[in-house]
Structure 1
């Protein structure tokens, strides 16, 4: 396999310029990782990059992963399969498949093979015996966990930090904890790294992050804020959705209300509460996932 897994990793930071920020003398830049690639964008590419390199090293030719029917990770893995000419498989949480769902339609268009399982079987996705049985069933497959978070995912997120200009605060949305762990690994101790949890009761993620990142264990320059989940994973308030639309109209910054929109909405509330000292330089990471809007429209949620 002589294939090279690369995309053009541009380094575009969009400054948000408002009186709201000016009067507090705060710089806010958005790392537009949503623009990395039309289909494999944001933290999904960052997490896949070194997993694909490791897959190549192991001489595996197929990719197998897990996700729900509207998963951004499944969307990205399917797109990577098409982009790099790989066979891809997804174990999809059932009980059945809605073939009109835009994420499922896209995955199938990319040639991804979808294997629907009931919720009981899906719960085994991190069980070693179950993973061994899948490896036997798909001997050529490199298995990536749900959401793409593992030690190889962290390397790509570390790399993101190294491309940034000087900053005091680095902020990202947090679902599985992989992106936040990678940003902690890549950051200097003088930088405060903040994750905005997008799901309810996310305190347990702190332990997950410490398992993933050695630095998270030994440094206190990071935190996970768990009060901005907007009702839970995949849920959002009308105010949050209105904020996302306003950011797009007023600042040409497209947001979805599940990940990056939740983070930006939380960030503006924190700034309003004078959480950040005057003169702070903040960089917020837009982790992509904009195709999620199609799923929200499909379900009549926006």
Structure 2
């Protein structure tokens, strides 16, 4: 058997390592900071960015078993899992937060999941909040007529110890190429692995800054939990700056919308609104505050791409709340 035949993730033919693209922007260069974009959005057309990094080790561990995972009505993770199932010929089940959605027409995001063959199961929000509890998960599995042993369960956002190991490869790709790496955070799995895999930067120890896109202040504990599960303890030099969520998940403001549109026009690079716009805006603020010493090489990880029509806030339509984190 060839190595590719034994590795389901290899059958998806990812573009690795992802490109590292320099960007000339005076909001950074005036402070002596060199900005690079780690274009994870170009890894795969159906599993872009951190979705491939997180899913690849889980697909290997699943070994062909049906996949069950969780997400909100606009979850990027649900769409990526459904696409992986279609490409690999693997059954997928998506447990969706909100049983009221069962009686409504599918939004474009969930419609794409269904088109890729995913079976959608809608559960009450009160049950969804407790989905990590073994007895609640067992009740969900019983309700859909599935035994736990025949399914491979992936948590919301794909963030587990396997995903952290997958994202550690992202850190290794950036090792020695950036002094500071910044990433937008939803469930924390990408940062957990990235920080563990990142080695010293060009001028010494490399560090990671996480920009949470949700309010709540809970993410540091979750990242530490993921790192304990994956690596035995806290790993790497990382911190969070929680000032740039713009009101919460999938929320925006006219200021953020204008920033994203201007960045797209200036650099001819699409800016995903839920994660990447907040990341880049936060980094311009940090640069202006003097957070980066002159000569710093700063890499911003582009973890996903813009998907018009799938729930992502559109330009000039700020203030719309979204589903749940998928990064």
- For structure 2, the 5+ residue unaligned runs are 319-327
- For structure 1, the 5+ residue unaligned runs are none
| Separation (CA, whole Å) in 2 of partners of 1:63 and 1:69 | 18
| Partner SS state of residue 77, structure 1 | helix
Q: Deviations over 1:57-83 (max 9, x none)?
A: xxx521000111111111111111111
Scaled by the length of structure 2, the TM-score of the pair is 0.85
| Separation (CA, whole Å) in 2 of partners of 1:217 and 1:290 | 34
Whether 1:160 aligns to 2:182 is: no
* 1:158/1:175 CA distance change after superposition, 3 Å: same
Question: What is the aligned partner in structure 1 of residue 211 from structure 2?
Answer: 196
Check the 8 A contact 2:8/2:59 in 1, yes or no.
Answer: no
Q: Deviations over 1:3-35 (max 9, x none)?
A: 622222332111111233333221110111011
* 1:33/1:220 CA distance change after superposition, 3 Å: closer
Check the 8 A contact 1:101/1:298 in 2, yes or no.
Answer: no
Query: Cα offset for 1:38?
Result: 1.1
Check the 8 A contact 1:195/1:223 in 2, yes or no.
Answer: yes
| Separation (CA, whole Å) in 2 of partners of 1:108 and 1:290 | 20
Equivalent of 2:119 in 113, 131, 139: 113
Query: Cα offset for 1:163?
Result: 1.6
Q: RMSD in angstroms over aligned alpha carbons?
A: 2.3
Equivalent of 1:79 in 65, 79, 83: 83
Check the 8 A contact 2:71/2:94 in 1, yes or no.
Answer: yes
Question: What is the aligned partner in structure 1 of residue 146 from structure 2?
Answer: 138
| Separation (CA, whole Å) in 1 of partners of 2:256 and 2:222 | 27
Question: What is the aligned partner in structure 1 of residue 95 from structure 2?
Answer: 91
* 1:244/1:298 CA distance change after superposition, 3 Å: closer
Question: What is the aligned partner in structure 2 of residue 210 from structure 1?
Answer: 224
Question: What is the aligned partner in structure 2 of residue 9 from structure 1?
Answer: 15
Check the 8 A contact 2:250/2:312 in 1, yes or no.
Answer: no
Residues 164-183 of structure 1 correspond to what in structure 2 (within 5 A)? Answer: 164=174, 166-183=177-194
Q: Deviations over 1:178-213 (max 9, x none)?
A: 111111111226111110010112x22111111111
Whether 1:228 aligns to 2:239 is: no
Check the 8 A contact 1:27/1:280 in 2, yes or no.
Answer: yes
| Separation (CA, whole Å) in 1 of partners of 2:220 and 2:313 | 32
How many residue pairs are counted as aligned between the two chains?
A: 298
Query: Cα offset for 1:37?
Result: 1.0
Whether 1:42 aligns to 2:39 is: no
Q: Deviations over 1:128-154 (max 9, x none)?
A: 112234456323210001111000000
* 1:293/1:236 CA distance change after superposition, 3 Å: farther
Check the 8 A contact 1:96/1:116 in 2, yes or no.
Answer: yes
| Separation (CA, whole Å) in 2 of partners of 1:99 and 1:180 | 35
